[in-house]
Amino acid sequence: MGIIDRLRIEDAVQRYDFWLELRGARGRQRRALRRELRANLRDAAADIGVTRALFNIGSPKQLAWEMTPDAASRPRWSMGAMWASLAFGMVVFAVLLTSISFTAGVEASGVVGETVRGFVFPWFGVDYMARVEPGRGGLSVGVGNVQWYFLGIPLLTFLAVARPWRAFARTSS
Amino acid sequence: MTTHDAQMLKGVLALLLLSLLAREDNYGYGIVTALRESGFSDLAEGTVYPALNRLEAAGHVESYLQRSDSGPARKYYRTTAAGHAELTARQRAWTDLVTAVATTTSARGN
């Protein structure tokens, strides 16, 4: 079997593993399933060619879902981490956008040479600051007490998606 | 090439797998090949592998690794005692179904 064929099989196996991981399959189970699929694909490739062998297993995602029917009751750490990262990115983006708007507002009001502080809905407890220097001397922008949003929202997202309490439920059952 | 109704095949897949494994131990792709040689050419690996996995989870088959000359170790399946009992029950259910269907269809033909 050529190197390209091996790479195509490995690509399918890795995509399968990715979905197994997202599904919440445990490490040992994933290793066993990966190994089995790799061996079967190589045998099938030697028999009917790589293209047909890959076609016959269907979508790696669908296969991963069908191979782990009980995984729905496990914590989904990877999925939680992925959504938490996305939530973190969105919070950073929203805070940045709000500070730009706040600074634009201060600039438009014509207040120069002094620091303007304010609250912007819906950022409760967050202190937005902007200072416009006279004579186009520059801008300074600051945001205080935003750490709770940076930590809290991704953490809540992680908990909601990963559902770590499932691990305790499995242990106690 | 004979094609089979996908839903019908799904219903008897466990019976087919248990029957094959009761005859001899086999691994994933080997089972697919055996099924194709028996006339089930439209059975894809993506259907057979999850079915084997379900049988193993139910305790009807068990597995072991065996070295292969052509590549990585293969996961072989063999029928357990519970699997043999399940096979007998499924064979009986299948025979009953075939008899009932035959009776109904032949009665309609008369």
- As for the ipTM of the complex, it is 0.82
**Number of structural domains found in chain A:** 2
Q: Which residues, listed in sequence order, are joined to residue B64 by a DSSP beta bridge?
A: B76
The predicted model scores a pTM of 0.68
pLDDT at B108: 59
Nearest to residue A93, comparing CAs of A133, A6, A155, A153? A153
In the predicted model, what is the mean pLDDT of chain B? 89
Q: Verify that A159 and A113 share a domain, yes or no.
A: yes
Per-residue pLDDT for B1 more than 70? no
Q: Which helix (H) or strand (E) holds B90?
A: helix B81-109
Q: Verify that A83 and A122 share a domain, yes or no.
A: yes
Q: Verify that A59 and A84 share a domain, yes or no.
A: no
Mean pLDDT value across residues B25-39? 93
Q: Could you tell me which residues of chain A have a Cβ less than 8 Å from any Cβ in chain B?
A: 32, 35-40, 42-44, 46-47, 53, 56-59, 62-63, 66-67, 69-70
Asked if residue B1 belongs to a domain, the reply is: no
Task: Place A171 in a pLDDT band, splitting at 50, 70 and 90.
Answer: low
Q: Verify that A89 and A155 share a domain, yes or no.
A: yes
Give the pairing of strands B61-66 and A138-144. unpaired
Q: What backbone torsions phi and psi does residue B75 show, to the nearest 5 degrees?
A: -95, 110
Of A38, A42, A67, which has the smallest distance from its Cβ to B50's Cβ? A67
pLDDT at A79: 85
Task: Place B110 in a pLDDT band, splitting at 50, 70 and 90.
Answer: low
- Domain range enclosing B55: 6-103
Q: Verify that A65 and A87 share a domain, yes or no.
A: no
Provide the phi-psi class of A144: left if phi over 0, else alpha when psi is between -120 and 50, else beta.
Answer: beta
Check CB contact under 8 Å for A70 and B57.
yes
Asked if residue B110 belongs to a domain, the reply is: no
Of A46, A47, A63, which has the smallest distance from its Cβ to B46's Cβ? A63
Residue B13 is encoded by which pair of tokens? 């897949």
**Number of structural domains found in chain B:** 1
* CA distances for A14 relative to A33, A61, B51, angstroms: 11, 11, 21
Mean pLDDT value across residues B40-61? 91
Q: Verify that A53 and A85 share a domain, yes or no.
A: no
Q: What three-state secondary structure class fits A2?
A: coil
Q: Verify that A150 and A129 share a domain, yes or no.
A: yes
Q: Verify that A127 and A86 share a domain, yes or no.
A: yes
Q: Which of A131-135, A137-141, A142-146, B76-80 has the highest mean pLDDT?
A: B76-80
CA distance A35 to B65: 10
CATH number of the domain residue B21 falls in: 1.10.10.10
pLDDT at B2: 63
Calculate how close chain A gets to B30, using CA atoms only, in Å. Answer: 8
Residue B24 is encoded by which pair of tokens? 């001899």
Q: Which of A38, A69, A100 is the last residue of a domain?
A: A69
Top-confidence residue, A122 or B2: A122
Chain B residues whose beta carbon lies within 8 Å of the beta carbon of residue A56:
32, 44-46
Mean pLDDT value across residues B46-75? 90
Q: Verify that A98 and A164 share a domain, yes or no.
A: yes
Check CB contact under 8 Å for B73 and A39.
yes
Per-residue pLDDT for A173 more than 50? no
Q: Verify that A51 and A119 share a domain, yes or no.
A: no
Q: Which of A44, A69, A94 is the last residue of a domain?
A: A69
Q: Which parts of chain A fold into alpha helices (H)?
A: 3-23, 27-48, 50-57, 60-67, 77-109, 147-162, 165-172
Half-sphere exposure of residue B15: CA atoms within 13 angstroms, side-chain side: 13
- Domain range enclosing A112: 77-172
**A79-138 confidence digits (pLDDT tens):** 889 999 999 999 999 999 999 999 999 988 888 888 898 888 888 889 999 998 887 778
For residue B73, with 0-12 CB atoms within 10 Å meaning exposed, 13-18 middle and 19 or more buried, which class applies? Answer: middle
Check CB contact under 8 Å for A44 and B32.
yes
The distance of Cα B11 from the centroid of its chain, to the nearest Å, equals 10
The answer to whether B62 touches B82, Cβ cutoff 8 Å, is no
